[in-house]
Amino acid sequence: MSTYSNEHILFMKKKKRERLLVILVQIFILIFFFGLWELGARFELINTFLTSSPSKVFETFLNLFKANDLFSHIIVTFNETLISFLIATILGILIATLLWWNKFLAKVFDPYLTILNSLPKVALGPLIIIWVGANTNSIIFMALMISLIVTIINIYNGFIATDKGFLTLMKSLKASKIQIYLKLIIPANITNIINSLKINISMSLIGS
């Protein structure tokens, strides 16, 4: 005999139908996008030199697979993304912590972070190649430029937005700054840090 009420069973069925509908609509949008992209390429409505086409991408994918080059390219991209992700994450948390710890530094570097965040980093690609060289280092540097500033800003904004009531309570209990950081700031920003990591991995992949 079921331990769930009829209302609960109907609610669960409704949620399942809703999830299925969301997945179906997502698949439809994806198919529609690729179909529109392919038609635009076939009828020369878009510049295929810049955008290519799904059929050409798939053809290149097959050629790389047949030549046993596909996985080597995937591994290289994965390594570049992982390295830039780890560096940006570690530096992002450390710099955000330093800015939270020292309000003077935060005020000094605030306009610079804003300017660096607004720079068209992808457009700087040719300059980065000249500075760093046309190698893996330039790709990692590009990924860092894209992801690091965003990581610093997101995590720092989370730190300073921590509930002021809890902060006041900790200070009234004579908690040291390191205690406030470890017992309040970090626990209160776990979700924010995880969200920043999600953005960071996508930014690192774009840069790679």
pLDDT of 155-184, one tens digit each?
Answer: 999 898 888 888 888 888 888 889 888 888
Indicate if 25 and 125 belong to the same structural domain. Answer: no
Q: What is the CATH number of the domain that holds 142?
A: 1.10.3720.10
Residues 75, 41 within the same domain: no
Q: Which of 48, 67, 86 is the last residue of a domain?
A: 67
Same domain for 106 and 33: no
Residues 199 and 108 in one domain: yes
Angstrom distances, CA of residue 165 to CA of 99, 162, 168, 169, 171 = 21, 9, 5, 6, 10
Is 149 found in the same domain as 60? no
Cα–Cα distance list, 160 to 98, 128, 198 (Å): 12, 33, 20
Mean pLDDT of 63-76: 81
Domain containing residue 46: 1-67
Instruction: Select from 43, 67, 91 the last residue of a domain.
Output: 67
Q: Is residue 92 located within the same domain as residue 180?
A: yes
What average pLDDT does the structure give for the chain?
Answer: 84
Distance of alpha carbon 56 from alpha carbon 155, whole angstroms: 40
Task: From 88, 159, 149, 156, select the one nearest 115 (Cα to Cα).
Answer: 149
pLDDT band of 94, cuts 50, 70, 90: very high
Query: Does 25 share its domain with 119?
Result: no
Whether this prediction's pTM lies above 0.85 is answered by no
CB 141 within 8 A of CB 122: no
Same domain, 144 and 43: no
Clarify whether residues 120 and 50 are in a common domain.
no
Half-sphere exposure of 19 (CA within 13 A, CB side): 6
Are residue 2 and residue 20 in the same domain, yes or no?
yes
To the nearest 10°, report the CA torsion of 135, 137, 140, 145.
Answer: -110
Q: Are residues 85 and 51 in the same domain?
A: no
Taking phi over 0 as left and psi of -120 to 50 as alpha, with beta for the rest, 133 belongs to: left
Indicate if 110 and 197 belong to the same structural domain: yes
Domain count within the chain: 2
Domain's final residue, options 50, 67, 84: 67
Question: 112-132 pLDDT, tens per residue?
Answer: 888 887 877 666 767 777 776
